[in-house]
Amino acid sequence: MTRMVGIVLISHSRALAEGAAELARAMGVGKAVVEPAGGDPDGGLGTSLDRVERAVATANDGDGVLLLADIGSSVLTAKTFIEDAEDRDPTDAVEAVLADAPLVEGAVAAASMAATGADLTTVQAAAESARDLRKLGPA
């Protein structure tokens, strides 16, 4: 079993994170590991660092984890997780980066690439290529 980059989807909505994860897993032909981290600690709308920490721990198998976030505090929570990683115990260390990409399109692109066994940088680049994907062709 080859190792694979994990993907964590951070959203204000638990349903949105889970739905996007469902879609991305399908595009990752069932091989990509995509974990949702949606909603506040009580499951309401909001974001939760604790949920992100748990999702990353689940998604990580040693090849690193790509984070994708929806808006506002999702982005800040992701960045806080990464900053905290510097202070974390080496045994819990995980290489995590935040993609500058839209949540759904980025998750689909990342999962597709992760399923090929690509490294973290390549998976991140795939997610970020989705940022400029026009839906109605060039202007």
Residue numbers at the binding site for other proteins (CB under 8 A): 40-41, 44-50, 72-73, 76-77, 79-80, 83
Which alpha helices (DSSP H) does 32-101 contain, by range?
49-59, 73-85
Closest distance of CB 81 from other proteins, Å: 9
**Given the complex with other proteins, which of 80 and 116 has the nearer CB atom?**
80
The closest alpha carbon to 130, from 96, 100, 105, 103, belongs to 105
Please say whether the beta carbons of 37 and 9 come within 8 A: yes
The closest alpha carbon to 16, from 43, 49, 41, belongs to 43
* φ and ψ at residue 67, rounded to 5 degrees: -100, 140
Closest distance of CB 76 from other proteins, Å: 4
Closest distance of CB 27 from other proteins, Å: 29
**Given the complex with other proteins, which of 63 and 81 has the nearer CB atom?**
81
**Given the complex with other proteins, which of 49 and 125 has the nearer CB atom?**
49
